[in-house]
Structures are given as structure tokens and as C-alpha cells.
């Protein structure tokens, strides 16, 4: 199992358990994490899954594709170098312990 910690702007946290092969957005929605809606179902068409990857994890989550970067430009919340669309991060065992911050509450 993979454990992911979501941290809200007010500092409250949700620890979520996940199996490999699902997207970060799906796990956030399953656990009712505020600030991640996933309106388009993960087809990279809504930007309602904007999140900030903890900088220590960036090497493992990778960087946005050009298409993802375009959608991020439309996202609510502060755009940072560590901004990603959660639907584009597929969970693997080496992401166990991942820390995600939400740019804004839901
Ligand atoms: S869920 Fe729509 S862009 Fe990620």
C-alpha cells in the first residue's frame, strides 16, 4: 500500500491509503479531500485537481507534460513550480509517503 498525506491551507491533514495504478486525483476524491474535485474524470480537461507536490518529491512525481502545463495555467490557486494536476500522477510504490498540499480549500 501507498500512504499519501494531503495538507490543507489551514494545516489540517488527511492520510490516504492507496494501491498502485490509480491516479492521485482518484485517491483524493475517494477520501473526500477538499480542494480536489476531478470534474472531468481525469481527462486533463478541467484543472479542478490542481495540487502542489512537496518539493522533496518532485523528482519522483516528474514534471508536467506540455498539455498539462497549459491546463495548469487555467487552474485556480497559486501556480508554483511544484504545481501538478493530480489526475496526471499515477501512483507507484515508490510514491509511498508522498506529501501533497492543496492550493486552496474546497
Ligand atoms: S481531473 Fe480534470 S484535469 Fe485533472
Cα 11 to middle of ligand 1, angstroms:
24
Q: Domain with 96 in it: what CATH number?
A: 3.10.20.30
Report yes or no on 92 lying in a domain.
yes
Structural domain boundaries, residue 82:
2-101
Is residue 24 lining ligand 1, measured as CB closer than 6 Å? no
Domain count, the chain: 1
- CA-nearest of 78, 80, 48 to 64 is 80
pLDDT in tens, 22-43: 999 999 999 999 999 999 999 9
Q: Is residue 106 part of a domain?
A: no
Question: Separation of 33 CA from ligand 1 center, angstroms?
Answer: 14
User: Which atom of ligand 1 lies closest to the CA of 85?
Assistant: 4
Q: Is the CB of 98 under 6 A from ligand 1?
A: no
pLDDT digits (tens, 9 = 90+) for 42-92: 999 999 999 999 999 999 999 999 999 999 999 999 999 999 999 999 999
Q: Would the pLDDT of 6 be above 60? A: yes
Q: C-alpha cell of 69? A: 502545463
Amino acid at each position: 500500500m501507498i500512504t499519501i498525506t494531503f495538507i490543507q491551507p489551514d494545516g489540517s491533514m488527511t492520510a490516504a491509503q492507496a494501491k498502485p495504478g490509480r491516479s492521485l486525483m482518484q485517491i483524493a476524491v475517494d477520501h473526500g479531500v477538499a480542494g480536489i474535485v476531478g470534474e472531468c474524470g481525469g481527462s486533463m480537461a478541467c484543472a479542478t485537481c490542481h495540487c502542489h507536490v512537496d518539493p522533496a518529491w518532485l523528482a519522483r512525481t516528474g514534471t508536467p507534460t506540455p498539455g498539462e502545463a497549459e491546463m495548469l495555467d487555467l487552474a485556480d490557486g497559486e501556480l508554483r513550480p511544484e504545481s501538478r494536476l493530480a489526475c496526471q500522477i499515477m501512483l507507484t510504490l515508490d510514491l509511498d509517503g508522498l506529501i501533497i498540499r492543496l492550493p486552496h480549500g474546497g
